[in-house]
Amino acid sequence: MAKYWNKPMETAKLHEMRALQSWRLSQTVRRVYENVPFYRDKMDAAGVKPDDIRGTEDLYRLPFVSKQDLRDTYPYGMFAVPMEDVVRLHASSGTTGKQIVVGYTRSDLDVWSECCARALTAAGGSKSDFMHVSYGYGLFTGGLGMHDGAEKVGMTVIPVSVGNTNRQISIIKDFGSTVICCTPSYALFLAETMQEMGITKDDIKLRAGLFGAEPWTEEMRREIEDKLGLKAYDIYGLTEIIGPGVSFECDEQTGMHINEDHFIVETINPDTGEVLPEGEQGEIVFTCITKEAFPIIRYRTRDIGILSRKECSCGRTLVKMLKPRGRSDDMLIIRGVNVFPSQVESVLLSFGDNAPYYQLIVERVNNLDTLEIKVEMTSSMFSDAVRNIEEHEAAIRNAVESALGIAAKITLVEPKTLTRFEGKAVRVIDNRKLHD
Ligand code: DLL
């Protein structure tokens, strides 16, 4: 089985990669300066001309692009080619504010499927696999992005999209799906439904899954692997950059390799914009250097991560980003303490006997923030005596308090009462925002 999709790029020496990036960057900057008024105005205001950008060492001189900039230029203000050359549009879900529209030329779609093909190959995918795609098809990039990548590899693609979970299980079983992709929260829901249908992991042939589009923990990985009987790989991406496939995990699973021949990555201090050395945690910033229709420069993702160039046992030299804990805007500040929902997930799942379903509810009572965590009980726990439930709540309360440094009210709820998600899970209800 092929180990790499594109060996020369995936194993290039750093100086070779830098030379390629530098060339592509200078070309891209020239193109956006000539074709996109937004970039021309921003660069003029910063006193930078395309000739000043000779290589990656000059990247820091270019202004950042924020999500607000994309909203201000909605829908097509950032496109760098005439619409006749655009063959596909996608859009971000737009849960907060106006949605963002991105476009692809034929060549952009090739770049994208190449990136996804690398991810699939790193997860052991090949022509002989049946690829079950349960990401949503439509404006969301997950479905079509992974679909095109899998077709490029030559897999037999099963384009199921989201919904009708019972039918999905029957398809996995009857069609013999060997690789699956969906959000990690949907993977768990599939596992739960499978159990209800009386189907065990031995009845199905899944052996690998590529899960992403939302933050998930190592505990969640083990839970999914155990319940579906597969090896779970992380995959990352965002609409603004291309969709899934910006970075992907190999067998070592100590971070996701970034497709650096297409995207230059930096980490910055989110408050000052200062570029941080590799290895320091910061906001991840990407620059697209091969895209034609929507070549975004220094895009501030708001994802918090760490980059690592430690040698990888898989042989890839592409820099790795460690699993992002979540976006800086998912981070809750509760009584002055920073809390990521994924920290709560780690604590809950480390208990062993909690179902992996939980919800954080934040309120402001008399000017004081309160945190309640609803945790679903497993069926076995539910049948226990009430006293045990109280003991269990107290144990979780102590563990959460010592992990987070703040007190939280823990409420165990009956099995199967918290909402299940087919796409990205919504874990937090922040009622403070209503009053702000
Ligand atoms: O979620 C693209 C995607 C589809 C990625 C399928 C992977 C698989 P957006 O809807 O624009 O695009 O959301 C992008 O989701 O900035 C992160 O905050 C989060 N995210 C995506 N992948 C991961 C991951 C798609 N593996 C936003 N781990 C990003 C943690 C992730 N967060």
Write down the pLDDT at residue 42: 98
| 271 lies in the same domain as 357 | no
The minimum-distance atom of ligand 1 relative to the CA of 424 is 1
303 CB near ligand 1 (under 6 Å) = yes
324 CB near ligand 1 (under 6 Å) = yes
Question: Which of 222, 186, 209 is closest to 120 using CA atoms?
Answer: 209
155-185 residue pLDDT tens: 999 999 999 999 999 999 999 999 999 999 9
Task: Write the CATH number for 369.
Answer: 3.30.300.30
186 CB near ligand 1 (under 6 Å) = no
Reduce the DSSP state of residue 347 to 3 states and report it. helix
What is the H or E stretch that residue 328 is in?
Answer: none
236 CB near ligand 1 (under 6 Å) = yes
234 CB near ligand 1 (under 6 Å) = yes
**Domain span holding position 211:** 1-328
| 119 lies in the same domain as 214 | yes
33-53 residue pLDDT tens: 999 999 999 999 999 999 999
The minimum-distance atom of ligand 1 relative to the CA of 146 is 6
Boundary residue ending a domain (298, 313, 328): 328
Q: Which of 89, 183, 218, 238, when mutated, tests ligand 1's pocket best, judged by the most ligand atoms within 8 Å of its CB?
A: 238
d(CA 321, CA 154): 28
| 147 lies in the same domain as 242 | yes
Boundary residue ending a domain (275, 301, 328): 328
Tokens of 15: 């100086």
Tell me how far the alpha carbon of residue 188 lies from the centroid of ligand 1, in angstroms.
18
Q: At what angle do helices 37-46 and 14-35 cross, to 10 degrees?
A: 110
| 229 lies in the same domain as 338 | no
436 pLDDT higher than 50: no
251, 228 in Cβ contact below 8 A? no
Q: Which residue is closest in CA terms to ligand 1's atom 27?
A: 238
The CA-atom distances, in angstroms, between 60 and each of 14, 23, 30, 43, 52 are 19, 16, 16, 12, 11
Read off the pLDDT of each residue in 347-360 and give the average, rounded to a whole number: 85
| 243 lies in the same domain as 300 | yes
| 246 lies in the same domain as 152 | yes
Task: Write the CATH number for 276.
Answer: 3.40.50.12780
| 49 lies in the same domain as 154 | yes
What is the H or E stretch that residue 396 is in?
Answer: helix 386-404
Tell me how far the alpha carbon of residue 366 lies from the centroid of ligand 1, in angstroms.
36
What is the H or E stretch that residue 369 is in?
Answer: strand 368-377
Reduce the DSSP state of residue 354 to 3 states and report it. strand
220 CB near ligand 1 (under 6 Å) = no
The minimum-distance atom of ligand 1 relative to the CA of 212 is 26
Q: How many domains does the chain divide into?
A: 2
201-217 residue pLDDT tens: 999 999 999 999 999 99
Q: Which residue is closest in CA terms to ligand 1's atom 15?
A: 213
Give me the amino acid identity at 215. Answer: P
Write down the pLDDT at residue 116: 98
Give me the amino acid identity at 244. Answer: P
| 351 lies in the same domain as 322 | no
| 200 lies in the same domain as 311 | yes
145, 245 in Cβ contact below 8 A? yes
Boundary residue ending a domain (328, 363, 384): 328
Write down the pLDDT at residue 330: 77
| 88 lies in the same domain as 144 | yes
Tokens of 126: 């090949």
| 347 lies in the same domain as 292 | no
What percent of the chain lies above the pLDDT cut of 90? Answer: 84
The minimum-distance atom of ligand 1 relative to the CA of 325 is 30
Tell me how far the alpha carbon of residue 57 lies from the centroid of ligand 1, in angstroms.
28
359-410 residue pLDDT tens: 999 999 888 899 999 999 887 777 776 668 888 899 999 999 999 999 999 9
Give me the amino acid identity at 122. Answer: A
Q: What are the start-end ranges of the H helices in 266-378?
A: 341-350
124 CB near ligand 1 (under 6 Å) = no
| 268 lies in the same domain as 377 | no
Distance of CA 356 to the CA centre of its chain: 19
Block residue for tokens 């009845």: 203
Query: Which residue has better confidence, 323 or 239?
Result: 239
237 CB near ligand 1 (under 6 Å) = yes
233, 202 in Cβ contact below 8 A? no
